[in-house]
Amino acid sequence: MIAFISFLNREDCPNSELFVIGIVYIVKMMNPVELYISKFDEPAKGMLNELRNIFFELFPDIEERISYNMPSYRNEKYTLYFAGYKNHIGFYPIGRGTKLEGELGPYRAKNAKDTLHFPYENPLPKELIKKVITIYLAK
Question: Quick one: average pLDDT of 61-87?
Answer: 94
pTM of the model: 0.77
| Range among 11-25, 94-108, 124-138 with highest mean pLDDT value | 124-138
Instruction: Please indicate, yes or no, if residue 4 is contained in any of the structural domains.
Output: yes
- Does residue 73 contact residue 64 with C-beta atoms inside 8 Å? yes
Residue 60: pLDDT above 60?
yes
Domain limits for position 49 = 40-137
11 plus 45 within the same structural domain: no
d(CA 42, CA 36): 14
89 plus 45 within the same structural domain: yes
Residue 27, pLDDT score: 53
- Residues 123-137 have pLDDT tens digits of 999 999 999 999 888
- Does residue 10 contact residue 17 with C-beta atoms inside 8 Å? no
72 plus 26 within the same structural domain: no
15 plus 53 within the same structural domain: no
- Residues 79-97 have pLDDT tens digits of 999 999 999 999 999 888 7
Instruction: Indicate which CATH number applies to the domain containing 66.
Output: 3.90.1150.200
97 plus 115 within the same structural domain: yes
Count of domains in the chain?
2
DSSP-based three-state secondary structure for 90: strand
Instruction: Please indicate, yes or no, if residue 35 is contained in any of the structural domains.
Output: no
Closest CA to 119 of 107, 130, 128: 107
90 plus 22 within the same structural domain: no
Residue 12, pLDDT score: 52
Residue 8, pLDDT score: 46
